[in-house]
Amino acid sequence: MVSVVVKKVDSLGLRSNVIVGDERTVVAAIGDERNGHQETLSSLPGVEKVVPILAPYKVASREAKPESTVLKTHQLTLGGGHVGVIAGPCSVESEEQIMESARRVKAAGATGLRGGAFKPRTSPYAFQGMKEEGLKLLAAAREETGLAVVTEVMTPSDVALVANYADVLQIGARNMQNYQLLQAVGETDKVILLKRGMSATMDEFLLAAEYILDAGNQRVALCERGVRTFESHTRFTLPLASVPFLHERTHLPVVIDPSHGTGKASLVPSMCAAAIAAGADGLIVEVHPQPSEALSDGAQSLDPETFEATMELCTRVAVAMNVKIG
């Protein structure tokens, strides 16, 4: 039945994109809406209704798929009553550092392990990451703990390499509008964690997600990590209203990054709790065995003890929100 609709859509000179949901399958027909194919499509067998999607992000929009998308990989679940917690250092620095981080965050209840192997640094002289060596260490940490590995990919030519080791490919804020990279990760079967560009509007953010969806990968999570404002008391300004706003506009899960969002470790626990209260489907938190020794983002990294206390706080908020951590 779906294939008949897809064939018809294609024969009308439109592009089809099939979104499989639990309750219904949506065939997005992308093209010029003024051609009035609505009636032809409505009369096909199995078609419940034909709805024009007004949002520019057709496949990402809540109109196209009213039910929320739930993403799962290894132990990590984002959405569907689960708040997935991804924790770990900003960068992978050594075997000891990543293994210790993995064990500690796992013990505290995280289900994903973060750690950059390819680092987008403002200065070319700053630590650039351990590259493939770092990816191998992340895979070894998953082997021991079962945590899903979340790590950044910076360029299309590295996608195959990073996808070989990672479960979740992170697109960093600085690359949100790198359209070739978005298309390249859209051709993988990995979960994609798309970070909001630090000056991107919500429409630009959702259209960036649309590139990934349009390339064929439906497993996209949106990450609010703070934006640039006139304010300087925090590294970025973290708009938690993004969570309910994005839930109105899109079916994709929403993850909050309070570490980059504030830049200050002391502010991170409260923002984790607030993100869950706002309805976030996941958190990504920087945790380092010794934040003062970190090669990147030490000032915003929690030590393992503080992370444990933060998870306890989050669990209490999660009970009130009727969701589960993990």
Site membership for ligand PEP, residue 263 (CB under 6 A): no
Q: How far is CA 88 from the centre of its chain?
A: 15
Range 89-108, binding ligand PEP (CB under 6 A)? 90
CA end-to-end span of the chain, whole Å? 37
Candidate list 225, 235, 247, 288; residue touching ligand PEP; CB under 6 A: 225
Per partner kind, with CB cut-offs from 5 to 8 A, the member of Mn ion, ligand PEP, none near residue 120 is ligand PEP
Looking at residue 25, the DSSP 8-state letter turns out to be E
Nearer to Mn ion, 64 or 285 (CB): 285
Q: Most distant CA pair in the chain: distance in Å? A: 65
- Quick one: 53 or 168, whose CB is closer to ligand PEP? 168
- Shortest distance, CB of residue 24 to ligand PEP, whole angstroms? 35
CB of 48 to Mn ion, least distance (A): 45
Out of 56, 66, 120, 216, the residue judged to bind ligand PEP by CB under 6 A: 120
- Does position 260 bind ligand PEP by CB under 6 A? yes
Question: Any idea what the Cα angle at residue 278 is, between residues 259 and 81, rounded to 5°?
Answer: 100
User: What minimum distance in Å lies between the beta carbon of 296 and Mn ion?
Assistant: 6
Does position 154 interact with ligand PEP (CB under 6 A)? The reply is no
Whole-number Å distance between alpha carbons of 270 and 254: 18
Secondary structure element (H or E) that encloses residue 254, with its range = strand 254-256
Residue 78 bridge partners (DSSP): 71
- Structure tokens belonging to residue 13: 């000179």
**Nearest distance from C-beta of residue 1 to ligand PEP, angstroms:** 42
Number of residues that bind ligand PEP (CB under 6 A): 9
Q: Cβ of residue 264: shortest distance to Mn ion, in angstroms?
A: 13
> Which residue is nearest to Mn ion, using beta carbons?
90
Residue 323 CA from chain centroid, whole number: 19
Instruction: Tell me the closest approach of the beta carbon of residue 127 to ligand PEP, in angstroms.
Output: 12
How far apart are CB 174 and Mn ion at their closest, in Å?
12
Q: Does 195 bind ligand PEP (CB under 6 A)?
A: yes
- Answer yes or no: are the C-beta atoms of 38 and 32 closer than 8 Å: no
Give the sign of the dihedral formed by CA 35, CA 36, CA 42, CA 48: positive
From the list Mn ion, ligand PEP, none, which binds 235 (C-beta under 5 to 8 Å, kind-based)?
none
Q: Report the residue from 84, 116, 129, 269 that binds ligand PEP according to the rule CB under 6 A.
A: 116
Segments in the chain forming alpha helices (H)? 2-11, 38-42, 95-108, 132-145, 159-165, 179-186, 202-214, 242-249, 258-262, 268-277, 304-321
Q: Report if residue 8 touches ligand PEP, rule: CB under 6 A.
A: no
Instruction: Please report how close the Cβ of residue 178 comes to ligand PEP at its closest, in angstroms.
Output: 12
Q: Which residues pair with 284 in a beta bridge?
A: 86
What does the binding site for Mn ion look like in residue numbers (CB under 5 A)? 90, 297
At residue 117, the 3 state secondary structure works out as: coil
For ligand PEP, the binding residue among 173, 246, 268, 318 (CB under 6 A) is: 173
Regarding beta strands 112-114 and 148-152, do their DSSP bridges make them parallel or antiparallel, or are they unpaired? parallel
CA distance linking residue 1 with residue 44, whole number of Å? 9
Residues engaged in binding ligand PEP (CB under 6 A): 90, 116, 120, 172-174, 195, 225, 260
